[in-house]
Amino acid sequence: MEILVFVFVFISLMIASHLIYPYGESFLKAWQKKRVEKFSPTVDRMFIRTNIKKILLIDIIGPLAAALVCFLITKIFWAAVLAAFAGLTFTNIIIKQLDLARKKKFIEQLVDGLMLLSGSLKAGLSLIQSFEALIEEMPPPISQEFGLVVRENRMGVPLEECLYKFRHRIECDELDMIVTAILVSRETGGDLTIIFSNLVMTIREHNRIISRAKALCTQGVLQGRIMIFLPVVFAYAVYQLDPSFLKVLMNDSLGRTLLIYAVISEVIGAILIMRLSKLDI
């Protein structure tokens, strides 16, 4: 009898999977297409030459890994489910961090790039030829961005439009000043070598002020992060030393209410700390 039940259940599962598979496959393809359309512009803008499907693997591995780690630590099914949903954001976080790191490196290269452009213009080269010299001498990402400007210009796109696109791709104050100076100089005239030299001093002073402000805010940011994680670490330590202290909160209705209130207060406090410690210059 048990064998017949097993065979019946096995056949039923096979039939059900055969019926559900086409719908699951179409849903998976639609989901992959949507994710590719979302990530492709950012990945292409960073000049990352990789198969986008490799990046999509993070969407699959991230939630599974987060759920597994959370379940091994907490042994709570619903916590693992929540961790799996949180794992869906791993790809967005990774791509965003790569983009921020690339933008930071580009800004750090701007001073050297401006000095190279100024020297090339003093040597008698045109602006496009100066861009080409920068592409040959400087490493990525600045060489990649100026290389795209030159390639677009060679394909017939006006230089002004290329510079507008350049400024839109990497949104930062330093590049905005450079592009504005070039555009104004092309319309009204002016010595770009002198303008670039002044911009170098301006950007250096701007970076010095930002570095000093970040150094002054480091203590507040560190204190805020400690205050965010301290209650969680303290609760875990108490639970490891004597679980009965926290069982009162979990088993009693008033304790659960206080625990929910504490979690909500912790989240609100974390948001306020991050907002107040954020440096915006």
Res. 227 pLDDT band, cuts 50 70 90 = confident
In the predicted model, what is the mean pLDDT of residues 186-202? 84
The Cβ of residue 118 has, within 10 Å, a number of other Cβ atoms equal to 19
The Cβ of residue 239 has, within 10 Å, a number of other Cβ atoms equal to 13
DSSP string, 199-231: HHHHHHHHHHHHHHHHHHHHHHHHHHHHHHHHH
pLDDT at 75: 73
With 60 as the cut, is the pLDDT of residue 24 above it?
A: no
Q: Which of 65, 62, 63, 56 is nearest to 28 (CA)?
A: 56
Domain limits of the chain? 34-88, 106-190, 216-276
With 70 as the cut, is the pLDDT of residue 144 above it?
A: yes
Give just the sign of the alpha carbon dihedral 160, 162, 163, 168.
Answer: positive
Res. 11 pLDDT band, cuts 50 70 90 = low
The Cβ of residue 55 has, within 10 Å, a number of other Cβ atoms equal to 18
pTM of the model: 0.68
With 70 as the cut, is the pLDDT of residue 240 above it?
A: yes
Long-range CB contact pairs, 206-211, < 8 A, 24+: 206/173, 206/174, 207/111, 209/281, 210/279, 210/281
Query: What is the per-residue pLDDT across 63-76, written as a single tens digit (0 to 9) for each?
Result: 777 777 777 777 77
pLDDT at 150: 92
Q: Which of 115, 65, 56, 118 is nearest to 87 (CA)?
A: 65
Calpha distance 221→256 (Å, rounded): 31
Res. 133 pLDDT band, cuts 50 70 90 = very high
Query: What is the per-residue pLDDT across 51-62, written as a single tens digit (0 to 9) for each?
Result: 666 666 777 777
Half-sphere exposure (Cβ direction) of 142: Cα atoms closer than 13 Å? 23
Q: Compute the mean pLDDT over every residue in the chain, rounded to the nearest whole number.
A: 78
